Amino acid sequence: MKKYLLFISAAVISWSFAACNRDTGKTGNEGSTTTNGMQLENNGQFIVSGHLDNAGNIPVIIQEMPLMIPGQQPSSEQLGQDTSDADGNFEIKGSTSEPQIAYLYTDNQHVMYVILDGHNIEIKGDYNDFDNLSITGSASSNAAQYLLKEINTQYTKIDSLQKQIRQLQSNGETPSDEQYAALAGAQQEIDAFLNQFTDTSSSPMATLLAAQMMDLGGQYDALKNLEKKLKSSFADSKYTKWLSSILADYDSWLGRQAPEITMKDRNDKDLSLSNLKGQYVLVDFWASWCGPCRRENPNVVRLWNKYKDKGFTVFSVSLDNKKQDWLNAIEKDGLDWNSHVSELKGWSTSVLTAYGVNSIPSAFLLNPEGKVIAKDLRGYALEKKLGELLD
């Protein structure tokens, strides 16, 4: 889960949005400019206003979405803020030098995405029903809300399936092949939807938002195709440069010797990654507090059980701070392999820099010589790769 976007990533799973289009009254493109090949109306001046029932006198903030660039600490600029009046009305004025993917929020439970491209945006609805706010005035923001609504629906299905599997595992029972197949199918549906969206959306900014939701390892080819398309028209955009940077980082890892990791295991004894040479090893960075990590664990458990006698194992590096939380998660999720390590230092864990990890889950698949052969494979993509290697 992303270090600076914990609440954003979690919220994608629980939100749904109602969006509709409305004529904003603009005629033509008065005051419009083309910045980095993307249309920026009104020289980047924007107004985000709205009315929220049951939301009197609360702060409303617009924040730039940080981009996770390998080897760099993510940063995020606040783009505007207002305090709603007693009736829940607010208005935020600001400007941007290029189109921006941003999020509007009041707290960790009330968040929505907006795309700032010089259009005036209006948001209406009940603060207590934040999932169903309406947003009008910006076609790109409408596209983003459609994207998130569809992703939310599919993640809700995945979350339910994963909870069922985890519950069985915590009870000492073995989930059925049918349950695992249903989970894999739901994950493939998300991949297919994101691939289709990036191929067909008329909004470059919404397309780039979709790209940030895609699994690099499993959807590498789709992301390379998207990069090629964006470079042809939007080469100077910071978002295109971000996409190029993560793809270049992925390429740079392939064939590289994995940096050594030596940390304390659950019994406070030193355990080294190099001890596992001779096997295919998934180096898995995770934490008990990371929702996406915990949701992926049932799949990792299944694949470990399937291939552990064929030369595959897992080396889990936890970013927990509290030992008992770490141990409880290992037990609850049925992570029965022996190689669990942690410094219990959270984001100050020493090896994160060497591996360029600034978000979790993050995983590196190593060959028996300890060289990286794939990165950030999850779900069906990880199963497919292991099948190619070990079946």
What tens digit of pLDDT does each residue of 362-382 get? 999 999 999 999 999 988 889
**Confidence (pLDDT) at 38:** 60
pLDDT given for residue 252 in this prediction? 95
Q: What share of the chain is helix, strand, coil (3-state, %, to 5)?
A: 45, 25, 35
User: Domains of the chain (ranges plus CATH)?
Assistant: 6-142 (2.60.40), 147-253 (no CATH), 262-390 (3.40.30.10)
* pLDDT value for 12: 40
Distance CA 2, CA 9 (A): 7
Least confident window among 33-37, 85-89, 258-262, 296-300: 33-37
Question: Measured between alpha carbons, how far is 195 from 181 in angstroms, rounded to an integer?
Answer: 21
Residue 374, strand partner residues: 365
Number of other residues whose CB lies within 10 A of the CB of residue 183: 24
Residues whose CB falls within 8 Å of the CB of residue 94, separated by 6 or more in sequence, listed in order: 45, 46, 48, 62, 79, 80, 116
The two three-digit tokens of residue 314, written as one number: 């897992």
pLDDT tens string 38-88: 667 778 899 999 999 999 999 999 999 988 877 677 778 899 999 999 999
Summary mean pLDDT of the chain? 86
Q: In this structure, are strands 312-318 and 280-286 parallel, antiparallel, or unpaired?
A: parallel
Q: For a pLDDT cut of 90, what percent of the chain falls above it?
A: 52
pLDDT at 132: 83
**Cβ partners under 8 Å of residue 5, min gap 6:** 65, 66, 74
Give the model's pLDDT for residue 280: 98
pLDDT: which is higher, 342 or 292: 342
Q: What percent of the chain has pLDDT over 70?
A: 90
**pLDDT value, residue 133:** 87
Output 150 or 33, whichever has higher pLDDT.
150
Cβ pair 105, 67 in contact under 8 A = no
pLDDT grade, residue 305 (50/70/90)? very high
Q: How far apart are CA 250 and CA 244, in angstroms?
A: 10
- In a 3-state reduction of DSSP, which class is residue 135? strand
pLDDT at 35: 40
**Which ranges of 201-290 would DSSP assign to H, the alpha helix?**
204-211, 220-234, 238-253
The pTM for the full model equals 0.78
Contacts for 225 with CB less than 8 Å, ≥ 6 apart:
none
- For the ranges 147-161, 216-230, 302-316, the maximum mean pLDDT occurs at 302-316
